[in-house]
Structure 1
Amino acid sequence: MASSCAQMCLQCRRLLFSRTTVCAWVSTQFGHCSSSTWTTTTKFLNRSLILRGSLTAAQAKEKWSQGLFCFSDLTAKHLSEGVKDSEELSRANVAAYHSPLSPVTHANPSDQSQMSLDHIADEFSALEEITDNEAVSISVPPAMPPASTSLRDYVDQSETLCKLVQLGVNLWKLEQRPNVGSMLLRLDFNRDVAPILLFLKDIGVDGSHFGKIITHNPFILTESLENLKARVNYLKSKKFSPETVASMVSKAPYLLNFSVKRLDNRLGFFQQQLNLSAPNTRNIVARLPRLLCGSLEPIKENLKVCELELGFKENEIQQIVIAVPKVLNANKRKLTQIFDYLHNTMKVPHHLITKFPQVLNTKYLRIRERHMFLDYLGKAQYDPTLPNYISLDRLVSLKDDAFCTTLAMATLEDFSEFQKTI
């Protein structure tokens, strides 16, 4: 029995029978050999036949033996007759493929895949010659890199990244932030990005600012339009003009990421903490909208520093904040250093600093160099009641050439040479 099967396999290989054709033919003949109808399903797996049905073990064994003998006889008969021509072989394959007992429909998925690939290979040959026009018309889509450390590798394949670059977004800054790159790759430009840009355009934000806003706050692209509209409507209800709202969004890209409740709490904090009127509160926030986005702890600390360490009164702090809102979130060390030099070295009283609070927002080195130059020339006089008075505003606001000619009465070269001696 084993030798018969071996001879059948060798001769089948010589006749170029495919595994699918042999299995189909065998199952067809095997089905005709049985004397009774089986209610079973056959499946070839690892070259073994698995019988499943209502038969007992003894009945299955008997049917298996009968099938093998019938299989051997039919195989010998078929091989002795041979295949007359290729057309007859094709007809046999087609009949076997459509046979209801053919195991092809229950075959291993790899067998079905192989049959599909053989069919495609017969229809499209790799050695077939094609014309130049057909060759040019063949398009191969570029493959998306599976992984990369830079968004630059995905720009050509991602419409969203390509258009963000055209808007002026700095991808090299975004890719340094965790999870931002993968978030952008998942966005669809027409579905996710375009509606946000149209919304910003509708509220008055200039298109040239889109790149800056998304570079600083890419998470605005994940916000829903309903939330964005609610936050803009809240600011307008607090009597911020549409132009002011657009300017605030451009200056503070994270502004619209915060809920209405948080925005309301921040506005109430500044109004109550500084004892300001509603117009003054709007004025401060409109000029420095980042006050609504950042933490309140540095602001509380600076207010305590101004009151306890620097010695300013409440009304003086109000005047300073209204004139220079940046004092609220200024660096504490810088603030105390400038005040110490103004008050203890230059002998400027509190009321003059309150009158010219811009000096608290100036570079410490600029104040120090100019005061030392004026003191060297004997012109460091900051008391408005005395002659040759020099205001703090002009001291820090004028450019070097104007400072030398109008205040120091010296040349720019003299000031440059003096700076080298400090």
Structure 2
Amino acid sequence: MASSCIQLCQRCTSLLRSKTVGVTLQYSTQVQLCTAVFRASTKIPNGSLFTSGNRTTAHTRQRWKQEMCHYSDYNAKRLTAEAKEDKDAEELSGSDVMVYKNPLSQIRDAVPVTESQMTLDLDAVANRSALEEISDEEAVALSVSSALPPASTSLRDYVDKSETLSKLVQLGVNLWKLEQRPNVGSMLLRLDFQADVAPRLLFLKEIGVEDSCLGYILSHNPFILTEDLDKLQARVNYLRSRKFSSESVASMVSRAPYLLNFSVKRLDNRLSFYQQQLGLSAPKTRDIVARLPRLLCGSLEPVKETLKVCKIELGFKENEIQHIVATVPKVLTAQKKKLTQIFDYLHNTMKVPHHLIVKFPQVLNSKFLRIRERHLFLQYLGKAQYDPSQPSYISLDRLVSLPDDVFCTEVASATLDDFNLFQKTL
């Protein structure tokens, strides 16, 4: 029994050696054969293909066919020998002996690797050294999530990952307004909340701005977040030096968000302009600017045009213009077309003299359609009387300032339904 086992082991060893040597010789012979075939197919006799003509081409083609036939016969014999050897190996497998297999057959019979098996375990990669080399497959499988999206058309995609944007939303800032303005979105993303935003918010709080106004200010003027704090403090100090109270400064900044973006020189030029053009005292000029702070932010050309219209086209005197502006500062920013349209209807259609318009200057800031509808309704009722010396006098203030229901009951002595039906006839 022992001798039989020894003979079986010797037979397996010789079989393995012969198979290994045979496989090596087979692959070596195949490489030599393919090289010979390739050289024969590309060899150019006599140094030139054009000089040999069709004879050279025919000769090369015939030799190519012979080599290919020889290779086919050899390949068939090799496959037959491999099949026989595999059969012999299977007969020996019943004796619990490890059998050598062809590496090519192992690759051919291997199960394809699924996508899930090729996925890289990122947790294992995280524990690796930064200097450790990885394969190309592992490098491709790596994916690092970006802190911020690379590009977007809306700031809402960045709110969850940007502390600055999330805090601004909590303050009530309208990001949809800011993202419509060029370069504002990228500017906000570059700002650090603790280093850039928080100090300026604290500054606004220190000068008296209410928490409810912070969102409005930043929604209209996000550039205040990039202003130097020393410059902001210098502009506030200037306004206080011109005897604006702290409450007035806070109110002006809240209603005119761009106020602190302008230099001290520009603010001083604006105040001097209104005082000289209107001929008012410093306290009256300060009162006008405090009530309408955007006068310090806008252009001066429209204001010059409005003053010229009031004086030349509408025929108001200088003291009358001073009274109108001191009572209704918005007249300075009104459009020329609106002023001329309202004045023409009041003076030429309703026959209201200049001094009554100056007495009730708020009529110049009203809607033209409201003045026209109510005057025509009173005229239809026979109550359109605007002369203070006549009975049933109706002041311009009550004509334009009262709500529709109060105007109908107290001025026109009619119902709101009557007024609505009359409006449909216009």
* Interval containing the TM-score (normalised by the shorter chain): 0.5 to 0.7
Q: Within 1, Cα distance between the matches of 2:272 and 2:386?
A: 38
Superposed CA deviations along residues 89-126 of structure 1, whole A, max 9, x for unmatched, are xxxxxxxxxxxxxxxxxxxxxxxxxx97783669xx99
Match for residue 234 of structure 1? 238
The TM-score, its normalising length taken from structure 2, stands at 0.67
User: Which structure's residues are more often helix, by fraction?
Assistant: 2
Match for residue 385 of structure 2? 381
Q: Within 2, Cα distance between the matches of 1:276 and 1:116?
A: 78
- Between the two proteins, the alignment pairs up a number of residues equal to 295
Q: How does 1:205-284 map to 2 (within 5 A)?
A: 205-284=209-288
TM-superposed deviation, 1:143:
3.5
> What RMSD, in angstroms, separates the aligned Cα atoms of the two structures?
2.1
Match for residue 322 of structure 2? 318
Higher RCO by CA contacts (8 Å cutoff, separation 6 or greater): 1
Superposed CA deviations along residues 355-398 of structure 1, whole A, max 9, x for unmatched, are 00000000000000000000001000000011110000011011
- Aligned with 1:144 (options 120, 145, 148): 148
Q: Within 1, Cα distance between the matches of 2:406 and 2:219?
A: 38
Q: Within 2, Cα distance between the matches of 1:332 and 1:196?
A: 39
The TM-score, its normalising length taken from structure 1, stands at 0.68
Q: Within 1, Cα distance between the matches of 2:147 and 2:273?
A: 53
The residue type equivalent to 2:132 in the other structure is H
Question: What secondary structure sits across from 2:160 in the alignment?
Answer: coil
Match for residue 178 of structure 1? 182
> Which runs of at least 4 in structure 1 moved beyond 3 Å after TM superposition?
115-122, 140-143
Match for residue 369 of structure 2? 365
Superposed CA deviations along residues 49-74 of structure 1, whole A, max 9, x for unmatched, are xxxxxxxxxxxxxxxxxxxxxxxxxx
What is the aligned-residue identity percentage?
A: 78
Q: How does 1:4-403 map to 2 (within 5 A)?
A: 119=132, 143-403=147-407
Question: What secondary structure sits across from 1:245 in the alignment?
Answer: helix
Q: Within 1, Cα distance between the matches of 2:308 and 2:171?
A: 43
Q: Within 2, Cα distance between the matches of 1:119 and 1:319?
A: 83
Q: Within 1, Cα distance between the matches of 2:255 and 2:134?
A: 62
Q: Within 2, Cα distance between the matches of 1:376 and 1:243?
A: 49
Question: What secondary structure sits across from 2:132 in the alignment?
Answer: helix
TM-superposed deviation, 1:418:
0.3
Q: Within 2, Cα distance between the matches of 1:301 and 1:118?
A: 73
TM-superposed deviation, 1:157:
1.2
TM-superposed deviation, 1:281:
0.3
Q: 1:142·1:157 contact (CA, 8 Å) conserved in 2? A: no
Distance 1:117 1:207, change over 3 A: closer
Unaligned runs of 5+ in 1: 1-114, 127-139
